[in-house]
Amino acid sequence: MKRNPREEAIQTFEILLTGQMRIRIPMFRPIVLSTCLASTLTACWRDETLTGYGAADRVWTLQQINSVDFPAKGILTFPAKGQIAGQAPCNSFHGKQSAPYPWFQVEQIATTRRACPEMKQEMQFLTSLAEMREAEVSGSVLILRNENGGEMLFTVGD
């Protein structure tokens, strides 16, 4: 049996996405296919960490830990997707933060090893940072929280 050109044009092909899900897309709609795939892939690669939700390209200055003013310098930045960096009272640090927003989980923190008079505040800053599990960005304010009610309050700039 001979097919007419219209039938040929609407032949479908299958794309295997997962074990059981298949999408049938008409062959005569390549622009729709391109748009659908581009949208899907963009969503897959979007930065779902805190960096992608307002924390990137800013310098966050620690103001308080557990509602008490922090007397030393504490800086936090998110230089790229899944990365965290900053300046504790004595040392600079960097690490990974790949939990999807609003969750927060710092991993593999590495610091320089300078001693200074503010070592107590340094340990408080780094220990608190490692214990935080949730983040909230609201304009120029960043709040990190943990499941025990601990909080770190940062603002943009000084």
More confident call, 81 vs 21 = 81
Q: What is the pLDDT of residue 11?
A: 45
Closest to 132 measured CA to CA, from 43, 60, 80: 60
For 16-49, the pLDDT digits (tens) are 344 444 445 444 444 444 444 444 444 455 667 7
Give 106's contacts (C-beta < 8 A, 6+ positions apart). Answer: 84, 95, 96, 97, 129, 130, 132
Q: What is the pLDDT of residue 50?
A: 80
Q: What is the pLDDT of residue 30?
A: 46
Q: What is the pLDDT of residue 13?
A: 39
Give 128's contacts (C-beta < 8 A, 6+ positions apart). Answer: 65, 66, 150, 152
Cβ-contact 76, 83 below 8 angstroms: no
Of 37-41, 60-64, 99-103, 138-142, the range with the lowest mean pLDDT is: 37-41
Q: Is 12 helix (H, G, I), strand (E, B) or coil?
A: strand
Q: What is the pTM assigned to this prediction? A: 0.69
Average pLDDT, the chain: 79
Q: What is the pLDDT of residue 98?
A: 82
Q: What is the pLDDT of residue 4?
A: 57
Q: What is the pLDDT of residue 39?
A: 43
More confident call, 158 vs 61 = 61
Walk me through the domains of the chain, giving residue ranges and CATH numbers. Answer: 5-45 (no CATH), 50-156 (2.40.128.270)
CA distance 64 to 31: 52
For 56-79, the pLDDT digits (tens) are 889 999 999 999 999 999 999 999
